[in-house]
Amino acid sequence: MSPKNELRQRLIDARRALPPATRSRWDAAIGAKVLAWLDRHAPARFGLDDRIQIGVYWPIQGEPDLQALYQELARRHMTLGLPVVAARHEALRFAAWSPGEALTRAAHGVPVPVQRDRFIVPQLLLIPCVGYNLRGFRIGYGAGYYDRTLACEPRPLAIGIAYSCALADFAEDAHDVPLDLIVTEQGLVLPPA
């Protein structure tokens, strides 16, 4: 197993070992920090009257569960989309989805909307991180889907979502694309410009 794969597995195991009450508290804190950031920055970045399109994720393998945040975003009339793998070496597509709509399991057991007849082009992505570093790079599951998605134009604003215990020191690969911001239960991590 490569050093990066070993680190990935250690971080996943540590995340899964968190007590449910701790995770629930941290999930709420992350959701509140994302909302506060959106309240402060979204009008200037996306316009006051725009219906912001946000790519979100469904939590797997102990990722932060932001379903309460998604409900609030939908209540605020933001359009949400869940990632869908179109093909192995392509960027992700985002199927329009609202909290409460039916999901089914797709590749790798990842939940996707049952109805995948409408896709959005997100202006902002909430991206789960297995790990992250202070330079703004993330470790995911190793397939590169988010890196390919962030390499597309127009590039969406990329906000990593992680627990603070996922902070790790690792060297990024040549194909890795940095995030614009990382949100943890402890606060915001702004990578160097």
Closest C-alpha among 30, 81, 50, 37 to residue 184:
30
Q: Are strands 111-113 and 79-84 parallel, antiparallel or unpaired?
A: unpaired
How does pLDDT run across 113-159, given as a tens digit for each residue?
999 999 999 999 999 999 999 999 999 998 889 999 999 888 999 99
Q: What is the CATH number that goes with domain 3-189?
A: 3.40.50.10420
Give me the count of residues in the chain.
193
Confidence (pTM): 0.95
From residue 95, how far is each of 59, 123, 161 by CA, in Å?
A: 16, 14, 20
The neighbour count for residue 28, using CB atoms within 10 Å, is 16
How does pLDDT run across 12-67, given as a tens digit for each residue?
999 999 999 999 999 999 999 999 999 998 877 776 556 899 999 999 999 999 99
From residue 42, how far is each of 8, 80, 138, 187 by CA, in Å?
A: 32, 15, 23, 18
